[in-house]
A and B are shown apart, each in its own frame.
Chain A
Amino acid sequence: KQEVTQIPAALSVPEGENLVLNCSFTDSAIYNLQWFRQDPGKGLTSLLLIQSSQREQTSGRLNASLDKSSGRSTLYIAASQPGDSATYLCAVRPTYGNNRLAFGKGNQVVVIP
């Protein structure tokens, strides 16, 4: 059974600092990995999708890396802004079986102005 862990569970950083969010998964047989953002009381917004054959994906200030063999992904957010405050969720899709996403519990981020 795939287990996804996100560390740290919560963090606060001053505005302008770079954010580093970690995601680890127990089964390396994944098809892809997706990072989401969730704002309080809101839905999930897809940020980046990394296929298993890729090492990283970039979108603006966001960069996500994937090391499938060691079961890790890292989301970097450069020059954090107060608007980046949210919960960031990592989800992996297994190679085999059906199409479910296995989610971590999230990294809750507060960027202090």
Chain B
Amino acid sequence: DTAVSQTPKYLVTQMGNDKSIKCEQNLGHDTMYWYKQDSKKFLKIMFSYNNKELIINETVPNRFSPKSPDKAHLNLHINSLELGDSAVYFCASSRGGRTEAFFGQGTRLTVV
């Protein structure tokens, strides 16, 4: 059973398009996150939700909009994609904000 699952695993799209990445966790966690791993492999948080409420919103362009329909899901929608958005996006979850975090397999986004 996959604990944190993301779809799609790979996403290739043209500049200017709008795309979404979906994330679901079946661990019963109440906190979910989106992290971005850039070309230098550096992981940085983008957003965090607790019980469907936004608690962390890093300095990311407002073209990125997370949506949490329920505690088990946190989707990431990206408008007007740019070349610099190419990266691997990871979804993660934890029970509360301070326990062990579990990560998904990542979505490799390539903007051409």
Contacts and interface: CB of A to CB of B under 8 A. Distances in A.
Contact of A43 (B31, B45, B56, B90): B90
Interface stretch (B62-70, B73-81, B96-104): B96-104
Given A105-B40, A105-B42, A46 B102 contact: yes
Contacts of B103: 36, 43-46
A28 interface: no
B72 to A, nearest CB: 18
Interface in B27-65: 31, 33, 40-45, 48, 50, 55-56, 58
B55 A43 contact: no
B110 interface: no
Contacts of A63: none
B105 interface: yes
A34 interface: yes
Given A100-B45, A100-B48, A42 B55 contact: no
A13 interface: no
Given A100-B45, A105-B40, A42 B105 contact: yes
Contacts of B108: 41
Interface string B77-92: 0000000000000101
Contacts, number: 58
Interface string A80-92: 0000000101010
Given A98-B55, A101-B45, A43 B106 contact: yes
B104 A99 contact: no
A43 B42 contact: no
A98 B48 contact: yes
A46 B101 contact: yes
Contacts of A46: 100-103
Interface of A: 31-32, 34, 36, 41-46, 49, 87, 89, 91, 93, 98-101, 103, 105-106
